[in-house]
Chain A
Amino acid sequence: MNGLPILSIITFAPLVAALVVLLLNNERAIKTWSVVSSFVIFLLTLWLWFAVDPKALGPGEFAFLEEYSWIPAINVFYRMGVDGLSVPLITLTGLLTFLSIFYSTYVINHRVKEYFFLFLFLEVGMFGVFTSLDYFLFYVFWEIGLVPMYFLIGIWGGPRREYAAIKFFIYTLAGSVLMLLAILGLYFSTGTFDLTALPGQELFGGNFVLKSLAFWGIFLAFAIKVPMWPFHTWLPDAHVEAPTAGSVILAGILLKLGGYGFLRILMPIFPDVFNAYWPVVAVLAVISIVYGALVAMAQWDLKKLIAYSSVNHMGYAMLGIAAAAATLNSSDPAVLDSRAIAVNGAIFQFIAHGLITGALFFLVGVIYERAHTRDLKAFGGLGAVVPKYYAFMAAATFASLGLPGLAGFVSEFMVFRGAFALIPYIAAIGVLGIVLTAAMYLWKIIQMVFLGPLNEKWKDLPDMHWWEIATLTPLVILFTLFGVYPKPILDYVNAGVVALLDLMS
């Protein structure tokens, strides 16, 4: 701990930016400031990517560690640090928030000040979850993110926004309060909230029932956030009703908070319990994969379709994590390799899904701004009318269905490569999901929207504006680049994964 408290600066920079928004009175000034500040924050996170060398960190070691006593009476520390697992997600957060804010400056013209204040405030909660290494602090950030998202959905959302907003809030909260009890139980049994010290501790004096209770309490919080079937029902409402940028952040980052929780907390702190219950998690993951794909296929609302496809995609990541938990102690190098591959695939999926689904939600916003409908049956033949839009949409859907050469393929391949070696039968059912998503995207989006006879109503539909292209281009470049050349991310993440799996055994 020397030099500047980098992680605190990154985490709280959006808060400072948000407070400045409150002081500004001119809408133009607010928008310019939000874009500039979120871009600077993104550059900070990008710098963090290069400043951290995950390979130099051993198991349980973190870069830019900050530690201050916060509430000595109950042994709470303000403790932050990052490793190969968290930095990619922090950079992704910086990127998606910047793009969302940039895009929003062109479409949000109502209650501008509150919007940009809340959006920047939301970023604080997301950064905080990824940087904190004290369970108390983690929980505080975990909850803080709920409030701005509630307002973003409730004020700028679609027709059923109020219902969606409170449903999102209550669902997520219901999961997290049980996690709170589990956290308190952990503290009672170990006397610490320290996420770096909890792995390897004997919990509850070895009482397996209590350990299981705590495990499932925490599991529920993360499973709702991810979301896994059957805890996903808040997702279609929230994602569909949220404003475009809100959906991007929900799908791109907030879902990853849950996945990150599995990696940072459940796997290292409860390795034996996770190992005992891995079939439950794996089965839920496979159901999420298949069910998510099937329900997505049945949708006629483009946004809802993409929302359900998130259930499917996050299911792959969860399958990878469950597969890694299926074997606890093994010295067989092949098994160890497969575990590492599965978890690497899961994290790569977080990033790929963030980029791809982020792009898809932006694209839904683009068409909705023009047509004021998302009904797939209303479209047709748009390929000739809006060629640029067609190109972007085709790229994003192909990436999402896992076309080789694009990022979605890499993660799905790795997850299944790992899972087949460890839990072949369950993984085999999961593969079904890949077929279904391919069918769904090609049929529902490409064919229904862009091919076939043109609906005369749309013959004058304007193509994408420059700012829409500017928002989407970085995402398309990135998911193509990482599809062709995933090495930079995988090297980075792998160092974190190796450390994590080391901690588990």
Chain B
Amino acid sequence: MQINWADTSFLLAPEILLTVGALIVLVLDLLIEDDTSPVLPGFTLLALVSAFGAAAAHLVTGVDDVALFMFAADPLTHFFRLLGIGTALLVLLVSVNYVQARSKHTGEFYSLLLWVTLAVVLVAGAHDLILLYLAFEFLSITSYVLVGWLRDDARSNEGAMKYLLFGAISSALMLYGMSLLYGATGTTRLTEIAAFFTIPETQITGLYSIVVPALVFLLAGIGFKISLVPFHQWAPDAYEGAPTPVAAFLSVGSKSAGFAVLARVLLEAMPAFQEHWTSLLVVLSILTMTLGNLVALRQTNMKRLLAYSSIAQAGYILMGLAAYSAGATFPADGLSGVLIYLVAYLFTNVGVFIGAVIFEQATGSVAISDYAGLIRRSPWLAFTFVVFFLSLAGLPPTAGFVGKLAVFYATVAKGLYFLAIIGVLNSVVSVYYYFNVIRQMFFMPAPEGAERVRMPASMGLALAISFVGTLLIGFYPEPFLNLANMSRDFISALPLL
């Protein structure tokens, strides 16, 4: 194959920019003595913005289905690049003051943020089991380090250790699943695996004993990243211990990466086994949202509450994949529902974490009871929290409503009525714990002598972006629906029906 370096570097521009940026930040960190210097975060911002621009350029120029060896530059990748880098941008904005207040070693935080973003992007585009595994490990390892970044905080260390142990096991499981798949098909390229399974039905049945376990192991490995029940146990501890901006990234950025992989492995490589993985996904989805919501009811710590909430959210998103039907009109295909939900979830969930960071930065507390009387202490922050919680609960006119609408629509269209009913009832349950926080903020009196909650400008900006995004998608979803409609294409061995 003739390699055209100019084309390749254009197609890989976001990845290249992130890599170069991360390396430069590492070097700059050695040169700059002052920990509060704006150069490092400024440069990180530049790297992220340029990578975001490069990713957006692919959308504009309409790059379609180009396979660069192991990496797919297709609309699905473009979408997840924007999502991952967008998350990193918002997280960076809230991190600057947060990390400066907590450690002297801010340089490595910024470069780690760039590395983890690169990992998300690579995972989303991986088109070959080997790159997929490597990128997944890259994502995991950078995440472990970020979770444990508060070196002197025992909880941070505990969280990182739990995350590492769970991660190691699930990545071993995933690798085992991959090796089985390779054994069955003799290839690691996703489209070639799919092509292999176009053999007649009778021959496929003979492969069940290998492919079905492979499917289960793969789901376990990927399920760990998107915190599906029963692979979720690491999440509350890791979220609680991690620096809060990192928890925000884990809950959105690395979760999206997990969904990208899941979509690729299931839709690109194993469409022939759809009836098998659909039933698995239905069960996992029901378990995940129900358990996440029920346990969230009893949380008293904001970060743990958000951890369980984001477990439940993963369950809703999974509904979209469970309802996948190739070739269905938008948005009944399910995949576009997943994508819309993820965009909505990006603004909403990062937004609610940003609110928590602002509150933690001002008061030092993450206890829900300390949010009492927030309406008096910062009316705007309290108001944005209401919008974010409404969106997480899926009420109009917010982004979360549009996201839920899209995935529920796909489930109804697919005829999975039972799943749809469980899904909507779960969203009713979730209102109880989201509104419990709102109850504290609005109904309870502020403690005596409580001061106003102030926010640094960069955090305020991040909050404003998430807030506007959440409402914009709610009121004017059209461009975001079109984005999802454009992005639901991916490299496929099979012609669409």
The answer to whether A139 touches B477 (Cβ under 8 A) is no
Interface size counted on chain A using CB atoms at 8 A: 33
Q: Is B460 an interface residue (CB 8 A)?
A: no
Query: Which B residues between 360 and 396 are near A, CB-CB below 8 angstroms?
Result: 375, 386, 390, 395-396
Chain B nearest Cβ from A126, distance in angstroms: 15
Q: Mark A347-365, 1 if CB is under 8 A from B, else 0.
A: 0000000000000000000
Query: In the bound complex, how far is the Cα of B410 from the Cα of A187, in angstroms?
Result: 11
Query: In the bound complex, how far is the Cα of B331 from the Cα of A72, in angstroms?
Result: 12
Query: In the bound complex, how far is the Cα of B482 from the Cα of A162, in angstroms?
Result: 41
Cross-interface CB contact of B397 among A144, A154, A184, cutoff 8 Å: A144
Q: Which A residues lie within 8 Å of B420 (CB)? A: 181
Query: In the bound complex, how far is the Cα of B169 from the Cα of A373, in angstroms?
Result: 64
The answer to whether A74 touches B331 (Cβ under 8 A) is yes
Query: In the bound complex, how far is the Cα of B395 from the Cα of A180, in angstroms?
Result: 11
The answer to whether A174 touches B435 (Cβ under 8 A) is no
Chain A nearest Cβ from B310, distance in angstroms: 20
Q: Is A173 an interface residue (CB 8 A)?
A: yes
Given contacts A73-B485, A213-B417, contact A184 B396 (CB under 8 A): no
Query: In the bound complex, how far is the Cα of B433 from the Cα of A166, in angstroms?
Result: 10
If over half of A's interface residues share one DSSP class (helix, strand or loop), that class is named, otherwise mixed; here it is helix
The answer to whether A170 touches B428 (Cβ under 8 A) is yes
Given contacts A173-B431, A178-B424, A181-B424, contact A143 B395 (CB under 8 A): yes
Q: Which B residues lie within 8 Å of A185 (CB)? A: 412
Chain B nearest Cβ from A174, distance in angstroms: 5
Query: In the bound complex, how far is the Cα of B396 from the Cα of A139, in angstroms?
Result: 8
The answer to whether B442 touches A151 (Cβ under 8 A) is yes
Closest to B439 in A: A162
Q: Which A residues lie within 8 Å of B149 (CB)? A: none
Query: Which B residues between 31 and 74 are near A, CB-CB below 8 angstroms?
Result: none
Q: Which A residues lie within 8 Å of B273 (CB)? A: none
Query: In the bound complex, how far is the Cα of B438 from the Cα of A155, in angstroms?
Result: 12
Query: In the bound complex, how far is the Cα of B439 from the Cα of A151, in angstroms?
Result: 9
Q: Mark B443-456, 1 if CB is under 8 A from A, else 0.
A: 10000000000000
Q: Mark B384-420, 1 if CB is under 8 A from A, else 0.
A: 0010001000011100010001001100110001001
Q: Which B residues lie within 8 Å of A155 (CB)? A: 442-443
Q: Is A270 an interface residue (CB 8 A)?
A: no
Q: Is B204 an interface residue (CB 8 A)?
A: no
The answer to whether A73 touches B435 (Cβ under 8 A) is no
The answer to whether B478 touches A169 (Cβ under 8 A) is no
The answer to whether B478 touches A73 (Cβ under 8 A) is yes
The answer to whether B431 touches A170 (Cβ under 8 A) is yes
Given contacts A155-B442, A188-B412, contact A73 B431 (CB under 8 A): no
Q: Mark A443-466, 1 if CB is under 8 A from B, else 0.
A: 000000000000000000000000
Closest to A179 in B: B424
The answer to whether B442 touches A72 (Cβ under 8 A) is no
The answer to whether A174 touches B428 (Cβ under 8 A) is yes
Closest to A114 in B: B375
Can you report 10 residue pairs joining A to B where beta carbons are below 8 Å apart?
A71-B477, A73-B481, A143-B396, A143-B401, A173-B428, A180-B405, A181-B412, A181-B420, A185-B412, A188-B332
Given A73-B482, A174-B425, A187-B409, list of 17 further CB < 8 A pairs? A71-B477, A71-B478, A71-B481, A72-B478, A73-B477, A114-B375, A143-B395, A143-B396, A144-B397, A146-B395, A151-B442, A154-B442, A166-B432, A173-B428, A174-B428, A177-B428, A180-B405
Interface residues of B (CB under 8 A from A): 330-332, 375, 386, 390, 395-397, 401, 405, 408-409, 412-413, 417, 420-421, 424-425, 427-428, 431-432, 435, 439, 442-443, 477-478, 481-482, 485
